[in-house]
Amino acid sequence: MPSNRPTSRDLPGDNAWEGAPSSGALAYLGSQFNRHLRASLRRPGELLNPLVFFLMVVTLFPLGLGPAPEQLSAMAPGILWVVALLANLTVSGRLFVADFEDGSLEQMLLARHSLALTAMAEVMVHWLLSGVTLALVSPLFAAMLNLPSAGIPVLMVSLLLGSLCLSLIGAIAAALTVSLRRGGLLMSLLIIPLNVPILIFGVAAVSEAANGYNASAWLALLGAFACGGLVLAPLAIGAGLRISMDT
């Protein structure tokens, strides 16, 4: 990293920030969200890779465990949530990499808006294209594992809330390792211990619903984690990106 950081007017591609309205941070966040969404949709592989990974792993479990419906039904909540966690790991490592490589992170540091606010736009796009999409197609995967129909709505809600938590945690680790050439292993070591509570709450919620019990307490815990993450994670992400850019 060169010691003489260029000014905002000297940076190439600075017109990317000209579309940000001066009316406030919310309008700026919306403009950055649209920019990252368009960029992600130009790379359909980023949307399909988690779904293909999820499909492949869920398909292999019945082959390995046998086609017994009762056994698959009992293990379905754990299988679905573990695969969702692993699918999130496969895409979280790419967060902020494109911005780092093309110099957009330099522009974010020099922008008048908060770096945490700017980074959150990319995190929310990541969650929309990975977590929300996965939650919407999860009934298909649940049917493949013979999950009782009573557990499917709770599975979708738990994946919506839990995948948001996973995306926020993954974004913090991605911010800290974005400047490292081989930071995948370090990122996994940072993410997995923090993801364990989310995994436990998600599996418990789906298991309770599948067995005919009330899963609202577990969903409330996931919601509390998601709300807390939306408040605290942007600060950690912004600090992590600044640390990575200064090293």
pLDDT of the residue at 203: 95
In a domain, 149, yes or no: yes
Rounded distance, CA 203 to CA 78, Å? 6
In a domain, 199, yes or no: yes
pLDDT of the residue at 16: 37
In a domain, 79, yes or no: yes
Domain of residue 157 covers 24-246
Number of domains in the chain: 1
Structure tokens at 236: 């950690």
Contacts of 64 (CB under 8 A, 6+ apart): none
pLDDT of the residue at 37: 80
In a domain, 212, yes or no: yes
In this structure, how many other beta carbons lie within 10 angstroms of the beta carbon of residue 112? Answer: 10
In a domain, 4, yes or no: no
Cα dihedral across residues 125, 40, 24, 169: positive or negative: positive
Contacts of 121 (CB under 8 A, 6+ apart): 29, 32, 33, 35, 36
In a domain, 97, yes or no: yes
* Inter-residue contact 197 to 169 (CB < 8 Å): no
In a domain, 5, yes or no: no
* Inter-residue contact 215 to 208 (CB < 8 Å): yes
pLDDT of the residue at 112: 72
pLDDT along the chain (247 residues), means of 10: 42 38 64 79 74 85 77 88 87 78 75 78 87 90 90 94 93 85 72 91 94 93 94 89 78
* Inter-residue contact 73 to 145 (CB < 8 Å): yes
In a domain, 15, yes or no: no
pTM for this model (two decimals):
0.81
